[in-house]
């Protein structure tokens, strides 16, 4: 999925759905960082897209005026 498609999809979500996705991505990010620290190298390539997606969601939440 292209970035522009992701943005339009995310903009259509409610704040509750965005907050839930952010929480899920934070959990995934945490698990991947643990795997990376344990030497499982295949997880290293998955971390950056998750962090970017999380940043996009947090940006949309800030635009909507939602505080953490």
Surface-to-core class of residue 32, CB atoms within 10 Å of its CB (0-12 exposed, 13-18 middle, 19+ buried): buried
**pTM for this entry:** 0.82
Element housing 22 (H / E):
helix 15-37
The residue extents of the domains of the chain are 3-62
pLDDT tens-digit profile, the chain (68 residues)? 688 888 888 888 899 999 999 999 999 999 999 888 888 767 778 889 999 999 999 999 998 887 65
| Alpha-carbon torsion (52, 54, 58, 61), positive or negative | positive
């Amino acid at each position: 999925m292209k970035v522009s498609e992701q943005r339009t999809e995310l903009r259509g979500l409610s704040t509750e759905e965005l907050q839930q996705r952010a929480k899920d991505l934070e959990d995934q990010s945490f698990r991947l960082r643990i795997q990376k620290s344990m030497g499982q190298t295949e997880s290293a390539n998955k971390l950056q897209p998750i962090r970017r997606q999380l940043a996009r969601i947090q940006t949309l939440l800030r635009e909507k005026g939602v505080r953490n």
